Amino acid sequence: MPTRVEAGIVDALTEVVGAAAMSTGDDVGDDYTHDEALTAHPHRPLAVVRPADTAEVARVVQLAADAGVALTARGSGTGLSGACIPTEGGIVVSFERMNEILEIDLENHVAVVQPGVTLDQLDQATGAHGLVYPVFPGESSASLGGNVATNAGGMRAVKYGVTRHQVLGLEAVLGTGEVIRTGGKFVKATTGYDLTQLVVGSEGTLALVTEATLKLYPRPAHAATVLAPFATLADVTAAVPKIVASGIGPLLVEYLDVITMDAIARGHGVELGVDPAIKEQATAYLVVVLEDRHENRLEEDTAELATLLGDLGALDVYVLPSAAGAKLIEAREKAFWTAKAAGADDIIDMVVPRASIPRYMAAVAQLAQERASLVVGCGHAGDGNVHLSVFQKDQAARHDLIHDIFAAGMQLGGAISGEHGIGTEKKVYVAELEDPVKLTLMRRIKAAFDPAGILNPGTIFDPEDFDGEERT
Ligand SMILES: Cc1cc2nc3c(=O)[nH]c(=O)nc-3n(C[C@H](O)[C@H](O)[C@H](O)COP(=O)(O)OP(=O)(O)OC[C@H]3O[C@@H](n4cnc5c(N)ncnc54)[C@H](O)[C@@H]3O)c2cc1C
């Protein structure tokens, strides 16, 4: 039975969006109760509200702020950190109806999108103009609102950067219900603090994104996928900075340890054509994709890369036929599902400077061995982002292991999450390991954007972390 406050807010929100765009009680589908984080528990919200436009979002936020009811923004729910899981008694603001590509500006090379537009949708629309939005996290059903809120990365970050580097401007609703517009169809502005960049990566805790202006690029027509098996993981990771420094300009540089490569190849029926004698010796693989507008230039770069990989100790080098190359990349994108099916207990996505990956991976291997745990993985090696699947059933032992894996990476100048975000699932490590001065400053920023503390409480920080701190 809803309380009087709960019934009141549900009625008020229904008046804003209409009954057809509101779900409560058993009408709330299970999808809205979770994301894809392995460790998070689902929560059933009081209601799901599906606004149609910015004015409705603003009104929803005002009403929730007045009633002190928590709001959790939701895109496609593909997040891996528990960040879009609603709080008990809170409201989900789902952006599924705000899913229009408002403009593809061919002269300024930008797209203006509503937050519920998916990566698939944008890719189709830009492809029709020979353009590309270059952020490809492993899940293309993800929404642009979710991408902005998590600062999504993915395999192409080594060439193009991550979401943060593509967002030129935003429209967003603050925790007060006020609407701001930031940036625009230009790269540079020095007009006070950069509010666009504060909102990017804030995991729905500072503002609800209602529109994004994104950079587009010409879409090169030709690509080549090169696969190089190596005898040791250390050889692979040591090769990465040299490939990036070579000037060849790879689109992606991914490493996979042998366990992960075998699992994804078997799971997705990928035939790599690697000589069995080489396969015997290989304990890790490097996958490099090159792209170009001109086929002959691509061929030259591919030949140069093959020679370089040989010099860097590759056991062999394979230029995959295009169908096999595409299949391998697709299987790599699905590595998360493979790890989940294999029973991984947690996934982490630490980032370290790419030249420090060999030292980091050595530290991880030692920690895993000392704690009788299995830690395997793959990653966007070109930008230092390492995705590790952790197999350790005991929760306390797993916590200590992950804490030490994060601490080892931070000692090398790394950060706890390279792209999946902190959400509800990694905040304990942030509280344990991050600089308290920075955390206090972040809480003050949150209080300035969201004085009532209604936007995604429990994500990044525990609500109690704000006790005793002044709200604006
Ligand atoms: C198989 C698989 C592979 C993946 N690979 C990668 C990868 O390589 N790189 C990577 O970065 N991520 C990856 N992810 C994670 C995920 O796809 C990204 O985090 C994505 O950005 C989430 O988008 P979403 O629409 O699903 O957001 P959701 O999961 O719905 O939400 C994520 C966060 O965004 C907030 N949010 C959503 N919409 C808005 C809005 N309009 N305004 C404010 N806040 C909002 C939510 O509150 C939450 O905090 C992967 C996930 C899967 C399942």
Nearest-angstrom CA–CA distance, 120 and 323: 20
Distance CA 414, CA 433 (A): 12
Helices in 312-394 by DSSP H: which ranges?
322-333, 335-341, 357-370
N-terminal to C-terminal alpha carbon distance within the chain: 34
Q: What is the DSSP letter of 84?
A: T
CA-CA distance, 66 to 282, in Å (whole number)?
A: 61
Mean pLDDT split into 10-residue runs, the chain, 472 residues: 80 97 95 96 96 98 97 98 95 98 98 98 98 95 98 95 97 98 93 96 98 97 96 93 94 94 91 92 96 96 97 96 92 92 95 94 96 94 93 97 98 96 97 97 97 97 80 51
For residue 153, which atom of ligand 1 is closest to its CA? 11
Please state the separation of Cα 288 from the chain's center in Å: 21
Angle between helices 233-245 and 357-370 (to 10 degrees): 160
Q: Tell me, what's the pLDDT at 470?
A: 54
Residue 211, strand partner residues: 171
Spatial separation of the C-alpha atoms in residues 115 and 98, rounded to whole Å: 6
CA dist 270 and 324 (Å) reads 7
Q: Looking up tokens 């057809």, which residue turns up?
A: 20
Q: 395-411 and 357-370 are packed helices; what angle lies between their axes, rounded to 10 degrees?
A: 160
**Which of 274, 421, 264, 428 lies closest to 347, judged by CA?**
421
Of 217, 220, 218, 212, which Cα lies nearest the Cα of 103? Answer: 212
Ligand 1 atom closest to the Cα of residue 155 is: 8
Q: Are 47 and 15 in contact (CB under 8 A)?
A: no
pLDDT for residue 189:
87
CA angle 209, 92, 442 (to 5 degrees): 55
What pLDDT sits at residue 466?
86
CA of 201 to the centre of ligand 1 (A): 10
* Residue to substitute in 36, 74, 253, 348 for testing ligand 1 pocket (most ligand atoms within 8 angstroms of CB): 74
Which of 31, 32, 139, 287 to mutate for ligand 1's pocket (most ligand atoms within 8 Å of CB)? 139
Question: What's the 78 CA to ligand 1 centre distance in angstroms?
Answer: 5
CB atoms within 10 A of CB 59: 18
Q: What is the C-alpha separation between 289 and 364, in angstroms, rounded?
A: 27
* Position 57, amino acid: V
- The pair of three-digit structure tokens given for residue 437, joined into one six-digit string: 């001065």
181 by Cβ neighbours in 10 Å (0-12 / 13-18 / 19+) ranks as: middle
The pocket around ligand 1, CB under 6 angstroms, is made up of: 35-36, 72-80, 83-84, 95, 115, 137-139, 142-143, 145-147, 149-150, 152-154, 203-204, 208-209, 334, 336-337, 419-420, 456, 459
Instruction: Extract the tokens encoding 118.
Output: 């998916």
Three-class HEC string of 100-139: CEEEEECCCCEEEECCCCEHHHHHHHHHCCCEECCCCCCC
Predicted pLDDT of residue 326: 93
Q: Which two tokens stand for residue 398?
A: 């797993």
Determine which residue's CA is closest to atom 5 belonging to ligand 1: 138
